[in-house]
Structure 1
Amino acid sequence: MNQDNASGLTPFTIDLTFEEARRRAEVVAALGPDWDPAAALRDEEQAHALLYSGLDAEQQRTYDLLVAAGVLPGEEPGRATAH
C-alpha cells in the first residue's frame, strides 16, 4: 500500500482485554449460580482415577508410554498434556 492510499483509511482498534473479560463473564453467567468449581474438579479427579483403574499389565505399559510421550496427562496437578 502506498502512502497516498493510507491517508484515506479510518483507524480501527479493539480492546481485546475488555472483550476477553466480557467473554469470561458470559461463560461464568452461563454456568449459573449453582456451579461449584471445587466439586467439578473433584468429579474430574474421580473420573480420571476410575478411567485408568484396573488396567492389566499390557494396558498399564501402554498407558505409561502415552503419559511419557505427553499424549495422555499423568498424575501431576492440572493433568495437562505436554503437547
Structure 2
Amino acid sequence: MSQENNGAPAVFEIDLTLEEARRRAAFMAAVGPDWDPPAVLRSEELAYDLLYSGLDERQQETYDMLVAAGVLPRREPGRAAD
C-alpha cells in the first residue's frame, strides 16, 4: 500500500532532549567533581597575561595591529601588553 504526498515535503522530526541530557551527563562525569570553572577562567587570564607581557617594540606593534583588526581581544588597561 503506497501513500502519496502530492508533492508536499515530508515531515521529519527528531527530539534530541534525551541525547542532550546524555551528552551533558557524560561531560560532567568527564570533568569530575573537582572541576572549578572560575579557577579555570582565572588560570586562562593569567596565561594570557604571561603570553602578552614583556613584548618588545615590534611585537607590541604586531599585537596592537591584531587587536585593531579584531583578531585578538582588546585587553583592559593595566593588563598585559599595555
Q: Unaligned stretches of 5+ in structure 1?
A: 77-83
Q: Unaligned stretches of 5+ in structure 2?
A: 77-82
Count of aligned residue pairs for this structure pair: 70
RMSD: 2.5
Scaled by the length of structure 1, the TM-score of the pair is 0.67
**How much identity, in percent, do the aligned residues show?**
67
The whole-number CA distance in structure 1 between the counterparts of 2:44 and 2:58 is: 25
The whole-number CA distance in structure 2 between the counterparts of 1:64 and 1:25 is: 42
2:54 aligns with: 54
Instruction: Give the number of the structure whose alpha-carbon radius of gyration is greater.
Output: 2
Report the Cα offset of residue 37 of structure 1: 0.4
1:30 aligns with: 30
By percentage of residues, which structure has more helix? 1
Give runs of aligned pairs for residues 61-76 of structure 1, distance below 5 A.
61-75=61-75
- After the TM superposition, list the runs of 4 or more consecutive aligned residues in structure 1 that deviate by more than 4 angstroms: none
